Amino acid sequence: MYLALLVIFLQCSELYAQGKVYQVFTFNGVKIKVEPSDKVKNGAPMSIICHADISKNTDFQLKHNFTFFKDGKLVFMAISDKEDARYEIPVAKSADTGDYECRVKAGDKLVISKPIYVWVAGMTKPILTADKKEVSEGEIVKLRCELPEEVPPLEFFFRKTKTNSEPIEKRVAEQNQNFSEMEYYVEAGDNILQFDCFGKRQVKSGWESSQHSNKTLVTVKEPFRKPTLITTPSNNFTEGDIIEFECSTVAAEMRGIEIIFQKNRTILNSVRDKKFLKYSTLATQEDSGEYLCKVEQGAVSKTTKLNVFVSELFPKPTLSASMTQLDENKDLILNCSINGLRRANFSILRKSSSGDILLKKSRILAIKVNVNDTGSYTCKAEVKGIVKESKPVRISVYAPVSKPTLSVVSGSPEVVLGKPLQLICHSVMGTPPITFTFYKGDEIKKNVTNDTYATFLDEDIGLNDNGGYKCDARNNHSSGVKTSNILNVTVIVPIRGASLGSVPYGEVEVGSDTTFLCSVNEGSWPIDFKFFKKTDHEVLLHEVREYSDRTIWHKKTMKRKDTGTYYCMASNRASVDVRSHPITISVILAAWQKGVIAAFVLTAMAGAGAVALWWFLRKKKKAKGPSMEMSGSALAPNLTSEKLTRPPSDGNYYSGSGYIEDNENHMKSTDESKGPDLESAEVDYTEVEVSTLDPHRAPEQKGTETVYSEIRKTNNDSMENRHSQRIYGHPDAT
């Protein structure tokens, strides 16, 4: 039974699956649009519609999620089974301007529309408020301009309009708020002020402006009135008249009121806490010009200007002099006059740093001048209390110059060849300025105008420039030119080319004298010569001053310690030391000293030879033995014929030679008979064996000793009769 039910269920499920249809859909696109258009007037209604275009395989319901964005920010959401959704804005404002897009999601599928730009044209009207409706001059008015429902960033423009004037505009940018505030200073003269404002915002097409705000009126009160400035009796005056000025104002509160009266930038008078100011003066031509009356209270300042003209009563006087440059003790006449006017109070004065010095109250002054009267003079004239002064006149009184002196600045009347020469010309007396003229020979070299002295630098000094300098001095005195004495200048030629020599040169015997010669190629006399020897430090040996280009120094009794290097140095008044090339002196032994040393050496050698010979003979006497065998075949024939003798005094054996006659004269030198051949004889040494005997006739001791046979060979090779043998035995042999 259960099996039958299971089979029936499976067959029904298969039939249901065969009859089922899958739901399939796809987005063909999503579009967004604005009604009535994408440009909407501010305050009008606006709808943003999003439409989804979807295709389905069958007719089934599908839920759509609509999302609206403005400038990337979410502004509206809707869920609908329809393919359209609407975002309604009943009253569009400028803040609704921007880029809109729509996103539609169905199932797991999402589609985004292309953005559309919506422009809400026009801005809301700004609202302007002022914190005061009535202010006084110098106070501050604070204004606030607001753009309701607008979104920053915004720009605000405030406008201030005076009566019968063009508006003055100020701009303020606001990044974070839709209002702005501005403070205005109320200036003097402001009466009724009118303020308004408007705003701007930036859109894609540029800048958009709002309407102008409401107009706000502010009434301005005056704390005091503009001052009044008058002169009496009129604005035109003549020199000598009295000018009276009066400056006044009307103020609600006099406390803090200050009245200032000035001409140009100079303050002439001032008062505080008063309504008026007075000022009077004696009119002069310098009083013509613009005057200023200024009233100030706190930050408020008001000004009134007035021009005053003063005509000339008489012109300035003129001072004339009989002479402006004159010698001392001459007469000077000064005359003061006014063109077209003879009646005036005149006075003549001399200018001084400490003040004017009155010389005479008269129009004429006559004096005999001296040098102290040099200076500037003026005269003054007074008419009706008006004093005018003439232009100054310069009077110069001259004393004659004294005879100038010409000298070298360095003091000494000489100059080194090639170096500049500086001269100074000086006059002890004479009123400056003094003109000095320098001459080299008859040629004018330089003109200098100075007070008491002048200098001249001659940079062209030649070898023959040994004199001829002079100078002139003159000023404006009538005595003329004074001339100095002629200055002779010596030209010093520097030392050049020092050299050193000696006699004898190179080697000098001990005890002998040496002559050194130091000379120069050129140089002015006198010349200082110095001789030096080089050691670890410079050693000065000799110095002398010569009026010559050379000097000789005799050094006596030279010693071995005088060996060394020598040089000389020369200098003159040019103060340049010139050093010679060095020379080397070797002090050697004299000939007689060499002979003494040679004799001493020969004597020592002879003594040494005698001692050696004595020692040799003594050793021979000690040598003992009946016979000896000689090695060397060349000696055998002679040895057979020789007889050995033994002296009774010792046991030494002596072997003679063929050229010795007997035992008595065997010590005789062979130099007498050997001749020239023996002097050049060569010496051969031969080794022989010697038997030694016991001195008490003891048995023969076996042993060998090595001795040497000295053989002298002659040039003719005759060895038979020209040889000798020295046999050195053991020191103990008998």
- pLDDT tens string 467-501: 588 999 998 898 889 999 998 888 888 888 899 88
Residues of the chain with pLDDT under 50: 1, 15-19, 625-734
Closest CA to 127 of 211, 217, 185: 211
Tally Cβ neighbours within 10 Å of residue 56. Answer: 12
Backbone phi, psi, residue 389, to 5°: -120, 140
Output the pTM of the full model: 0.42
- Copy the structure tokens of residue 206: 């540029």
User: How far is 57 from 21, CA to CA, in rounded Å?
Assistant: 9
CB 332 within 8 A of CB 395: yes
| Confidence at residue 667, expressed as pLDDT on a 0 to 100 scale | 33
CB 354 within 8 A of CB 385: no
User: DSSP letter string over 288-316?
Assistant: -EEEEEEEEETTEEEEEEEEEEEE-SSPP
Q: Which residues does 20 contact at the CB level (< 8 Å), separation at least 6?
A: none
Tally Cβ neighbours within 10 Å of residue 281. Answer: 13
Closest CA to 495 of 448, 449, 454, 549: 549
**Sheet with 364-368: strands ordered across:** 318-321, 331-337, 364-368
| Confidence at residue 520, expressed as pLDDT on a 0 to 100 scale | 92
User: How far is 388 from 159, CA to CA, in rounded Å?
Assistant: 58
User: How far is 77 from 401, CA to CA, in rounded Å?
Assistant: 118
CB 364 within 8 A of CB 333: yes
User: How far is 334 from 323, CA to CA, in rounded Å?
Assistant: 9
Spell out the SS3 assignment of 599-632.
Answer: HHHHHHHHHHHHHHHHHHHHHHHHCCCCCCECCC
- Copy the structure tokens of residue 635: 């000696």
- Which tens digits make up the pLDDT trace of 366-387? 999 998 999 999 999 998 888 8
| Confidence at residue 633, expressed as pLDDT on a 0 to 100 scale | 39
Query: E strands, 140-178, where?
Result: 140-146, 154-161, 168-174
What proportion of the chain, given as a percentage, has pLDDT over 90? 34
CA distances from 558 to 53, 207, 509 (A): 138, 118, 7
CB 377 within 8 A of CB 350: yes
User: How far is 623 from 646, CA to CA, in rounded Å?
Assistant: 10
| Confidence at residue 9, expressed as pLDDT on a 0 to 100 scale | 55
- Copy the structure tokens of residue 460: 């062209």
User: How far is 570 from 572, CA to CA, in rounded Å?
Assistant: 7
Tallying the residues shown for the chain, one arrives at 734
Q: Which residue has the tokens 């080299």?
A: 440
Closest CA to 193 of 162, 228, 172: 162
Backbone phi, psi, residue 393, to 5°: -120, 130
Distance of CA 630 to the CA centre of its chain: 105
Torsion of CA 670, 673, 675, 678, to 10 degrees: -40
- Fill in the DSSP letter of residue 222: -
Greatest C-alpha distance within the chain: 184
On the question of a cis peptide bond just before residue 317, with omega within 30 degrees of 0, the verdict is no
CB 566 within 8 A of CB 580: no
User: How far is 287 from 263, CA to CA, in rounded Å?
Assistant: 9
Closest CA to 105 of 70, 59, 63, 147: 63
CA atoms within 13 A of residue 341's CA, in its CB half-sphere: 16
| Confidence at residue 698, expressed as pLDDT on a 0 to 100 scale | 37
Angle at 132 between CA 131 and CA 138, to 5 degrees: 115
Closest CA to 27 of 59, 64, 60: 64
Burial of 361 (0-12, 13-18, 19+ CB in 10 A): exposed
**Helix (H/G/I), strand (E/B), else coil: 678:** helix
User: How far is 567 from 260, CA to CA, in rounded Å?
Assistant: 95
Closest CA to 471 of 399, 403, 398: 403
